[in-house]
Amino acid sequence: MGTMTGKTAIVTGAGHGQGANHCIRLADAGANVVAVDVCTDVEFFYPLASKEELEDTAARCRSTGSDALPIVADVRDPTQVASVLDQTIERFGRVDILCNNAGLARIDAIDEVSDDVLSAILDVNVRGAFNMTRAVTPAMKEQNYGKIINIASAAAVKPLPYLSHYSAAKGAIAAATKSWARELGPWGINVNCIAPGTVLTAMIVGLAAQLDKAPEQAFDEFNSGSVFTGARSHITVDDITDALMFLVSESSRMITGHVLAVDGGKTNT
């Protein structure tokens, strides 16, 4: 898929799970990586990544021979997002790739969703992606080049009960992807979206706790509907990162506005 040497990638939600894996794989391909995470818990949700985990992500990126800059920032805050871009340009001089990976989920019946929970889910999943995208767009326009990858969810394509707030937020990101792709295409900017099925990360551990189930049991139940069986039905973080690496490579130069389901056929069959 080609090397990322000389390119700079910003990844949000980079402290652990999918985000950390994206960072390490991008660094291994030669990219400079800016790893962003809020590094503090959000009330009413499962534990989020710590500053130590974010530093570990950056250290693992550097172990590949690439440079990495960890930044503690809240994607909900435009001022902090602007600082992320400023630090990126100061350190690396450009931004080529943005992966909007930060997200929150929670299980709630519609008549029990609190204002605080609804605001947090919409603000992190939707406002955060908007804040990051509008921050990097001027630099990408000036370069006449950019790759923006939004991480949505299979729930954006096939919404789930008790996850209406999360499904709606991820559906909004899938729709924004198509709009941004048309808008930014004249500047050579590709905008695509990955809609993962269930991956066993801290998010699923947190949702499993809400259901009073073991993480592995919840993981299997959330993955029901895959066309594959047994271990083949288990989606891994590398499955998602493989899709990311393709979409940020030059092999995908003519692909934009696409929502790529990586879910074992759950939503498309």
Beginning with the edge strand found earlier in the chain, give each strand of the sheet holding 259-262 in spatial order. Answer: 68-72, 32-37, 8-12, 97-100, 146-151, 189-196, 259-262
**162 is a catalytic site residue:** no
Helix or strand or coil: residue 133?
Answer: helix
CA distances from residue 102 to 16, 57, 75, 232, 265 in whole angstroms, order as listed: 11, 15, 8, 26, 24
Q: Which of 46, 145, 162, 166 is catalytic?
A: 166
DSSP secondary structure of 63-89: TTT--EEEEE--TT-HHHHHHHHHHHH
Residue 229: count of CB within 10 angstroms of its CB: 8
User: Which residues are bridge partners to 26 per DSSP?
Assistant: none
Contacts (Cβ under 8 Å, ≥6 apart) of 168? 122, 159
CA distances from residue 13 to 19, 151, 250 in whole angstroms, order as listed: 5, 11, 25
Dig out the tokens for 142 from the structure. 């000036």
What is the C-alpha separation between 171 and 194, in angstroms, rounded?
12
Closest among 125, 152, 242, 139 to 189, alpha carbons compared: 139
What is the C-alpha separation between 36 and 13, in angstroms, rounded?
6
Dig out the tokens for 254 from the structure. 């003519």
Q: List, by residue number, the catalytic residues.
A: 166
